[in-house]
Amino acid sequence: MCPKFHTDNVACRLVTSYSGPGTQWLPHHCVDRSKLGAGSRGLSDADSGLYPAASDINTLQTHHVALLKGENWEGNEGAGLVHRSPAVAPGQQRLLLTLDFL
C-alpha cells in the first residue's frame, strides 16, 4: 500500500480493486507537484498543500479498471497521475490487482 499521494515510475499501470475501497486520484489541475514526496516536509497529504480541498479527491469504484499513466510514458515526464491507496477501516480488507506495462 502507498498511503501518500505519489506518481509511478512506469509507463502505465493497470489498477483494479476486487474488494474494499478503490484507488484514490487527483485531477492534474488540482495538484501542486512541488508538495509530492520530500516536498511535503513530512506533513500529511491534507496538511501539505498538495491539493486544495478533500472534495478534489476522486475514488475508483470496486471492480472498475483504470490505466494510470506514469512518469515513464513517453512525453508524460512530470505529469504522471497522482494517486494513493485509500485508508482501510479496521477489520476491512482490500484485494487489489496491479499490472505494470513494460
At 14-50, the pLDDT tens digits run 999 999 999 999 999 999 999 999 999 999 999 999 9
In angstroms, the CA 65 to CA 62 distance is 9
Walk across the sheet containing 82-84 and list its strands. 58-59, 24-26, 82-84
User: Distance between terminal CA atoms of the chain?
Assistant: 21
At 74-100, the pLDDT tens digits run 999 999 999 999 999 999 999 999 999
Q: What are the residue boundaries of the structural domains of the chain, listed by start?
A: 12-101
CB 8 within 8 Å of CB 85:
no
